[in-house]
Amino acid sequence: MPTVLHLRTVTGRGGGPEKTLLASPRFIDGAYQLRLAYVRPVHDPLYDMPARAAKAGATLIDIPERGGIDPRTWRRLVKEVKQCRPALLHAHDYKTNVLGVLLARRFNLPVITTLHGYGLGGGRLNWYYRIERWALRRMDRVITVSEELRRYAIKSGVREDRCLLVENAIDTDEYVRTMDRAQARARLGMEPHATVIGAVGRLCAEKAFCNLIRAVRDLCASKTDVELWIVGEGEERPKLERLIRDLGCEQKVRLLGYRADTIDLYQAMDVFALSSVTEASPNVVLEAMALEVPVVATRVASVPQIIEDGVSGLLVDRNDVAGLTRALAMLLSDRDLRTRLAATGRRTIENHYSFAVRMQKISRIYDELLGRLCTSR
């Protein structure tokens, strides 16, 4: 059975791509053996990937490194390639894109990457993107999770026939509602009668949680009794805590931090909100829809392809706090609308965003690439 070695750098508990990578081995149908090589800071107190990989049944090679450039990382990856003899390398971020290209050249292996998204840019990120574009042009295939990222890859010099769109997806058997909101809140030990807007994601500038907090402040000012739960950790936490204090929202906004019980939390929400100013194909929107939570989301990247406005969710413009406030107010005041959007959202995920279907597409890319290369060599 051919082995595919996935390469990924990660800090803390990672983000959406980790959910995809850890779930992938269960859905590859025995066609390939997947190994995950994770490069991470040596003293990262939040890093928990080995435990999560073991729970998911994924083979994880843990590579701690000291600083941004650590020669031991290269030596450890070279050793891993020699030992497991992969048929293919699959990278997942700017750093492992470069490492993947260099490893592919050394060992005469095909290499591909998945573009999961990008940040707001500026500072060192601009330099990282420049390096990434060098690596992208040397990939045998580039998989993107949104059409916006596909255009970015082609603009970066990737040949159009080597650039493939495979959208994110989720395990629809795992993400399925098993209890109503009252039961979920009882299980979590939370207030059963509160009206709750929920959000899940890394606390970073791209997620624009500051806009969501302001929208909730405005809802409360208009006498809408509502709470906001934000699930996740990140570098913006101190800034968000200050904003909550400055707006006097300490009793209305809760930063819940990292939680392993997100499925229970989704089921306890009345509405899910995505306030991001940039995304690719956000897993959290797919998860909320699969769990029949009505969604309000910004029109970023692939979100308008996932959500049909007014049919499977509500869409607002990015950075439009007033528009976000109005959409949330509309949804919170209309139980029938919430019920209709929740049901349509679930059907959308079942029909178009099943993880099993996604991995069939990935497996076919592996088949095509390895078959073509074997024929040409």
Instruction: Judge if 340 and 360 occupy the same domain.
Output: no
DSSP readout, 43-56?
T-TT--HHHHHHHH
Instruction: Judge if 226 and 255 occupy the same domain.
Output: yes
Query: CATH number for the domain including 21?
Result: 3.40.50.2000
Instruction: Judge if 164 and 198 occupy the same domain.
Output: no
Structure confidence at residue 30 (pLDDT): 79
In a domain, residue 274? The reply is: yes
In a domain, residue 347? The reply is: yes
> 9-54 pLDDT, tens per residue?
998 888 778 888 888 988 887 789 999 999 999 999 889 999 999 9
Structure confidence at residue 267 (pLDDT): 98
In a domain, residue 176? The reply is: no
Instruction: Judge if 221 and 363 occupy the same domain.
Output: no
Structure confidence at residue 120 (pLDDT): 55
> What is the three-class DSSP state of 300?
coil
In a domain, residue 13? The reply is: yes
Structure confidence at residue 325 (pLDDT): 98
In a domain, residue 175? The reply is: no
Instruction: Judge if 370 and 337 occupy the same domain.
Output: no
Instruction: Judge if 145 and 198 occupy the same domain.
Output: no
What are the tokens at 94? 């700017």
Instruction: Judge if 143 and 191 occupy the same domain.
Output: no
Instruction: Judge if 140 and 63 occupy the same domain.
Output: yes
Whole domain around residue 106: which residue ranges? 3-169+355-376
Instruction: Judge if 148 and 239 occupy the same domain.
Output: no
In a domain, residue 299? The reply is: yes
Burial group, residue 136, by CB count within 10 angstroms (0-12, 13-18, 19+):
buried
What does each C-alpha distance from 276 to 43, 107, 183, 340 come to in angstroms? 30, 40, 30, 24
Which of 249, 255, 256, 243 is closest to 216 using CA atoms? Answer: 249
Instruction: Judge if 157 and 209 occupy the same domain.
Output: no
Rg (C-alpha) for the chain, rounded Å, is: 21
Phi, psi of 198 (to 5 degrees): -120, 155
Neighbours of 289 (CB within 10 A): 30
pTM of the model: 0.87
Query: Who has greater pLDDT, 123 or 138?
Result: 138
In a domain, residue 238? The reply is: yes
Whole-number Å distance between alpha carbons of 25 and 189 = 34
Instruction: Judge if 316 and 364 occupy the same domain.
Output: no
Across all residues in the chain, what is the average pLDDT? 92
Instruction: Judge if 155 and 218 occupy the same domain.
Output: no
> Which H or E element spans position 137?
none
Q: What's the domain count of the chain?
A: 2
Structure confidence at residue 126 (pLDDT): 74
State how beta strands 163-165 and 253-257 pair: unpaired
> 155-167 pLDDT, tens per residue?
999 999 999 999 9
